[in-house]
Structure 1
Amino acid sequence: MSEEVREERGKGPVEAQSSQAESTMAAILAIAADAIIALDEQRRITQFNYGAEQIFGYAKDEVIGRSVNVLIPDRFHSRHDEHVASFASSGVAARRMGERREIFGLRKDGSEFPAEASITQLGETGERIFMVVVRDVTDRKRYEALLSQSNAELEARVMERTAALEEESQRREEARAALIQAQRMEAFGQLTGGIAHDFNNLLAIVLGNLELLEARVSEEEASDLIRRAVGAAQMGARLTNRLLTFARRRPLAPTLLNANDLMLGIAELLKRALGERTTLTTVLARALWQTRADPSELENAVINLAINARDAMPKGGKLLIETENVTIGTADPIAQECAAGDYIAIRVTDTGSGMSPQTLKRAFEPFFTTKEGRGTGLGLSTIYGFARQSGGHVTIESQLGHGTTVTLYLPRVDASEAAASGNSDDTVPLSENCETVLVVEDNAELCEIVLRRIEALGYVVLSAPNASAAIAMLEKEPDIALVFSDIVLGSGPSGYDLGLWVRAHKPEVKVLLTTGYASDAAGGEKIEDEFEVLHKPYSRKDLAVALHSTLNAGDG
């Protein structure tokens, strides 16, 4: 029997139980992963288990008897002393881990680590002992930081993706709105073209009848009434051309013009359109030079500027339209934008809200507009393009709160060209050899008027209601010299198709097409590249010149 066993058997029951408890406590202290530290009343370390050695990096012998402050960063010493003193006098037996704020421990190597601690106090034989359990939470804090960072990154990605989806949704909505607008404009253009065609057919009937009637009337009063009716019909034709220009269905057609005459006509139109709160004044230069430009485009430009001015004066104001002869020298600032020389200037000035410097810089940019939801941003850019295409320029002067002046410069036509234009030949060419003309028109009333007008010019006339009937007639009538066909011929082949057939099967026969709309059938530009086209409504002279020039032109 060993000495230890004999000694254990020699102890009494209480001594044996106490010894067993100490052994159990020693085993717990040895295997605990947390730091378990015992302190006396002076806060000196009396016990330091294996877990504490692993956490703090001290060997047990290095800290026994030393102040617990050796395990605490300097900046926490006073706070820790206050905490222990408060705990000792509180009468509380223990505080569990996590019941106090986060603390930090100090390792032997000087590094700090986050920790949680629990504390209890024991009072045996009158001496107070504090037992502290410290847990290193470095890994947990690291994981929490990583989780927080991951959550933040995930949230940022979600926000970024949400923003991207919102941006994409906005882009799609804008694209959808742009597509709808484009479709509306295309539909409007098609509608305008259809109206123009039908309206010009009616005007052709009216003008044709008035022309035939005028030749039979000798009374001055009746002739005057006819001339007025012709003027009204021609005004309707100009209105149709404005509609086509607005819908961008008509190419530029520059002519020699006096801008003063044009401005007077525009002023009458604007006085009704601008309303009573806008006062319109025109100051037109005497002996204004002539220029060459598309009158419809010039009218549209000035009307557009006037409408912009009205919108800039919601409470009313003054609008001034001026014309002036201007000579631009090489030293003038505007000479950098256009060639030096003589120009006519058309100024539109308002007393409206004006433009900021930032807006003024972008005024001519396509699609830039300050009229959110109401403007296309194409008005000023279209005017700029028209001016440049006409050999001129346009400028804007504006100040916020002090109105805007837009000046359109168009080049002067030299005197020799103006004189030549003024002495143009008014002769109406007639048929030279009684040529046979086949008129192809599906509108019976219009066809009758056209036949009578062409016959009055000395031609022999035949008629067909559609392309198929015209082809049948061409195959049996060898004397037909020219086919004069409307482009739109109901539901069958078009006049353009008929022209292609004639070119392929009867190349000796000339083709002259007519229409009230430049973009009928295969497309206006393509048609006018291949055949002569006479636009409705036309005058007697226009018809005579077109027939004569087509018959005397080369093949094709």
Structure 2
Amino acid sequence: MPLTDPSASDTQKELLLAESQISTILAIAADAIISLNENMRIMLFNDGAASMFGYSKEEIIGQRLDVLIPERFRGTHHAHVAEFSRSPVAARRMGERQEIFARRKDGTEFPAEASIAKQEIDGRPIFMVVVRDVTERKRAQAELAKANSELEQRVAERTRELEAEIGRREATQAALIQAQRMEAFGQLTGGVAHDFNNLLTIITGNLELVGDATDQPASRTLLKRAADAADMGAALTKRLLTFARRRRLSPQVLDLNELVLGLMEILKRSIGEPITLTTMLAGNLWKTKADPSEVENAILNLAINARDAMPHGGALMVETRNVAASALPFDGAGGEYVLLSVSDTGEGMPPEVIERAFEPFFSTKEPGRGTGLGLSTVYGFAEQSGGHATIQSAVGRGTTVTLYLPRADGELDRVASASEAVPLSEANEVVLVVEDNAEVRELTLQRVEGLGYVVLEAESGPAAVRILQSGEHVDLVLSDIVMAGGMSGYELARWIGEHVPGTRVVLTTGYAAEETRHDPAAYGGNPILRKPYKRAELAVSLHDALHRD
């Protein structure tokens, strides 16, 4: 009986066990495990490889590795294998080489990663390759990249939206601050104009009385200078009230094209020869409703400002255009507007000047060359007319001031010229003067009496009511609107309409916030005489009120 070597038997068992384990690993591995000989022919092809490439072991064993590589990559693959064969490196793991593509039996390609190792057995090189299909990973990476790109795009869009929203809010905040500043200026200037008009009423009235009492040429010359200065003061307060939006306008339905064409000769004379004047008037221009005298003043103011900004000549253009609600640069509450703009090619304004250009008394002109009320008056007129005013300007590129006036439907109104006659009392009618300012009241009594009327006086609305209740005959009440005593001129007019309807009423005011808040028609539609007024204006108002139907 031959003797057996126990150690050899154990080694054989271990080898069989190792082969069994390797076979199990090859069978269950999801990756493709391929063994190649020195000629790159396939010697081993596990189940994972068969599943991945679609070949059975019988079909693929003995085939060259090229059948598993797309044709366009075979030349590059051969070079890499030859380089690897010559190198001292025994193995290259996945990820150490660039991405490769493999080819299935049906011809489809897929991205893959591969590890390769080499060894020599009996002097012959043997290669072992492990291939992993990374299609799903690539798809996941692509989806992740797409999601990241979409997220970045959404973030960028949202950032732009937020920036735009911040810009809109900042613009709105700036507009609100500007509106508050302008409202504060309006209240201040309106109050100043109110008191100033009372003073001017006393000045102009007394100048008229003195003028009637003297026939000396030298004295009349001095009186005329004083009266002219008072008229300039009245014009100044009128501008202040227009800016403050405290002066009741006389709006009419207008065709701005006709109004602009009617001003061309005046404009040409105002701006001088070195400046070229052109117009761009829209056809089929909508009608607008505004005070025609204020529109004319606005155009003249803007033209004169443009002239001063072009001392060496340039171009001035007046433009009209219809503007739909969607094209407005401000919140127009969905309305349609008629645009009137005046553009020049002058010096222009920097941003800090544009920001303050509409403020009253702000001027960049030399002292004595401007009051700083031109643009502020234009702004106040536009706002009070239910519109808006804007400025666009750049240093060295000129300025454009644009008025947006609300569209109006209807035919053009005829403008009636004021009578220059000074009618006197025809039947010694009795006029009750109601005024809380003693000096203004005394002056008014003299002026009314000078027109041939019998005058009575009252220092307040309640005092006037007591006189009327006493049975005293009164043909007309001439009353200030804003008075001490707890009763305004409007309230007095309403009381008269209810209790002594045969008595006529004329209201006066130098500045009345109530005038802009109330419709005079609600108090009988009584006429309003605005201070400071001339003797002729007073005479016409009293006469018309007494003789109207």
Q: Tell me, yes or no, whether TM beats 0.5.
A: yes
1:226 deviates by: 1.5
Partner of residue 500, structure 2: 506
Partner of residue 109, structure 2: 112
Q: 1:494·1:521 contact (CA, 8 Å) conserved in 2? A: no
- Select the residue among 38, 43, 55 that pairs with 2:40: 43
Q: 1:515·1:533 contact (CA, 8 Å) conserved in 2? A: yes
Closer/same/farther in 2, CA of residues 296 and 44 from structure 1, 3 Å limit: closer
Partner of residue 53, structure 1: 50
Q: Distance in 1 between matches of 2:396 and 2:444?
A: 45
1:427 deviates by: 4.3
Partner of residue 302, structure 2: 304
Partner of residue 234, structure 1: 231
Partner of residue 206, structure 1: 203
Range 162-171 or range 99-108, more displaced: 162-171
Q: Does 1:542 align with 2:542?
A: no
- C-alpha RMSD of matched pairs (Å): 4.2
Partner of residue 461, structure 2: 467
Q: Distance in 1 between matches of 2:510 and 2:397?
A: 30
Q: Does 1:163 align with 2:160?
A: yes
**Structure 1 residue matching 2:249: 3-state secondary structure:** coil
Q: Does 1:516 align with 2:519?
A: no
Closer/same/farther in 2, CA of residues 44 and 522 from structure 1, 3 Å limit: same
1:372 deviates by: 5.4
* Deviation per residue, 1:40-73 (Å, 9 max, x gap): 1111100000000111111111110110111111
Structure 2 unaligned segments of length 5 or more: list them. 253-261, 278-290, 321-341, 349-386
Q: Does 1:552 align with 2:547?
A: yes
- Select the residue among 19, 22, 26 that pairs with 1:25: 22
1:296 deviates by: 5.7
Q: 1:120·1:132 contact (CA, 8 Å) conserved in 2? A: yes
Closer/same/farther in 2, CA of residues 67 and 178 from structure 1, 3 Å limit: same
Q: Distance in 2 between matches of 1:143 and 1:299?
A: 72
**Structure 1 residue matching 2:110: 3-state secondary structure:** strand
Q: Distance in 2 between matches of 1:263 and 1:96?
A: 90
Q: Distance in 1 between matches of 2:191 and 2:483?
A: 13
* Deviation per residue, 1:190-236 (Å, 9 max, x gap): 44433332222111100111122222223232222222212221222
Partner of residue 100, structure 1: 97
Q: Distance in 1 between matches of 2:171 and 2:222?
A: 55
Partner of residue 9, structure 2: 12
**Structure 2 residue matching 1:523: 3-state secondary structure:** helix
Range 493-502 or range 112-121, more displaced: 493-502
**Structure 2 residue matching 1:134: 3-state secondary structure:** strand
Partner of residue 70, structure 1: 67
Instruction: Give the TM-score taking structure 1 as reference length.
Output: 0.72
* Deviation per residue, 1:380-401 (Å, 9 max, x gap): 547999xxx999xxxxxxxxxx
Q: 1:369·1:376 contact (CA, 8 Å) conserved in 2? A: no
Closer/same/farther in 2, CA of residues 366 and 511 from structure 1, 3 Å limit: closer
Q: Which amino acid aligns with 1:503?
A: G
**Structure 2 residue matching 1:235: 3-state secondary structure:** helix
Partner of residue 338, structure 2: none
Q: 2:101·2:112 contact (CA, 8 Å) conserved in 1? A: yes
Partner of residue 324, structure 1: none
Q: 1:39·1:45 contact (CA, 8 Å) conserved in 2? A: yes
1:262 deviates by: 7.2
Q: 1:301·1:383 contact (CA, 8 Å) conserved in 2? A: no
**Structure 1 residue matching 2:119: 3-state secondary structure:** strand
* Deviation per residue, 1:130-183 (Å, 9 max, x gap): 111111111111111111111111111111111111112222222223333333
1:245 deviates by: 4.3
Q: Distance in 1 between matches of 2:5 and 2:152?
A: 67
- Select the residue among 189, 194, 198 that pairs with 1:197: 194
Partner of residue 130, structure 1: 127
1:443-458 aligned within 5 A: 443-458=437-452
Q: Distance in 1 between matches of 2:164 and 2:306?
A: 32
Q: 1:262·1:299 contact (CA, 8 Å) conserved in 2? A: no
Moved over 6 A (4+): 7-11, 258-264, 278-282, 348-351, 365-368, 373-378, 382-385
Closer/same/farther in 2, CA of residues 384 and 144 from structure 1, 3 Å limit: closer
Closer/same/farther in 2, CA of residues 253 and 226 from structure 1, 3 Å limit: farther
**Structure 2 residue matching 1:14: 3-state secondary structure:** helix
Partner of residue 286, structure 2: none
Closer/same/farther in 2, CA of residues 117 and 491 from structure 1, 3 Å limit: farther
- Select the residue among 474, 479, 482 that pairs with 1:488: 482
Q: Distance in 2 between matches of 1:222 and 1:206?
A: 16
Q: 1:466·1:489 contact (CA, 8 Å) conserved in 2? A: yes
Partner of residue 327, structure 1: none
* Deviation per residue, 1:404-448 (Å, 9 max, x gap): xxxxxxx9x9xxx9xxx89x663431251342x221212111111
Q: Distance in 1 between matches of 2:136 and 2:94?
A: 17
Q: Distance in 2 between matches of 1:59 and 1:353?
A: 89
* Deviation per residue, 1:217-269 (Å, 9 max, x gap): 23232222222212221222223334444556453589xxx9899789x96xx
**Structure 2 residue matching 1:492: 3-state secondary structure:** coil
Q: Distance in 1 between matches of 2:394 and 2:480?
A: 44
Q: Distance in 2 between matches of 1:533 and 1:205?
A: 18
Q: Does 1:441 align with 2:435?
A: yes
Q: Distance in 1 between matches of 2:265 and 2:16?
A: 127
**Structure 1 residue matching 2:514: 3-state secondary structure:** coil
Q: Distance in 2 between matches of 1:487 and 1:144?
A: 81
- Select the residue among 525, 528, 532 that pairs with 1:533: 528
1:490 deviates by: 4.2
Closer/same/farther in 2, CA of residues 202 and 8 from structure 1, 3 Å limit: farther
1:539 deviates by: 1.7
**Structure 1 residue matching 2:513: 3-state secondary structure:** coil
Closer/same/farther in 2, CA of residues 66 and 511 from structure 1, 3 Å limit: same
Q: Which amino acid aligns with 2:300?
A: V
Instruction: Give the TM-score taking structure 2 as reference length.
Output: 0.73
Q: Does 1:379 align with 2:364?
A: no
Kindly, what percent of the aligned residue pairs are identical?
46
Q: Does 1:479 align with 2:473?
A: yes
Q: Distance in 2 between matches of 1:487 and 1:504?
A: 18
Q: Distance in 2 between matches of 1:367 and 1:376?
A: 17
1:463 deviates by: 2.2
Q: Which amino acid aligns with 2:440?
A: L
Task: Name which structure has the greater RCO, CA cutoff 8 Å, separation 6+.
Answer: 2
